[in-house]
Amino acid sequence: MSNDNGSGWFVAGFIVGGLVGFAAGLLMAPEAGEETRARLSEKGIELKGRAEELALEARKTAEELREKGQVILEEKKGRIEEAVAEGKEAASKKKEELVAKLEEAKGKATAEAEAEA
């Protein structure tokens, strides 16, 4: 994955912070109240539009990340299934080896018991 996962949020925060700072500057400006309110109204509309754009971008990014996550999950799932199959095969072989050794030891013990009898 790329290292720019947080850069979109940084840019969005930077833009929103700049717009909030701009709005605060307007409030501090020596204008008539009506002019200031009109400007704030215009900027509010702009901010709303920008917020909607950022929300759409965030949704797209979230969807892309979800899709990438599913691809990675499917890859891992296949690897896990392979590892489980290999583990079962190894356990089966080990079981066969242990059963063979047990049968061999049992046969030796029986032969020794018969030889002593």
Question: What pLDDT is stored for residue 2 in this prediction?
Answer: 47
pLDDT at res. 31: 63
Indicate whether this model's pTM tops 0.85.
Answer: no
The domain locations on the chain are: 7-116
- Distance (Å, whole) CA 43 – CA 45: 5
Report pLDDT for 80. Answer: 86
Rounded Cα–Cα distance for residues 105 and 115 (Å): 15
Instruction: Please tell me the predicted confidence (pLDDT) of residue 78.
Output: 82
* Contact by Cβ (8 Å): 40, 23: yes
- Residue 90 belongs to what H/E stretch? helix 33-116
Could you list the pLDDT tens digit for every one of the 117 residues in the chain?
A: 445 566 777 887 888 888 888 777 766 766 667 777 787 788 888 888 888 998 899 999 999 999 998 888 888 888 888 888 999 999 999 999 999 998 888 888 888 878 776
Number of residues that make up the chain: 117
For residue 4, the model assigns a pLDDT of 55
Q: How confident is the model at residue 89, as a pLDDT?
A: 93
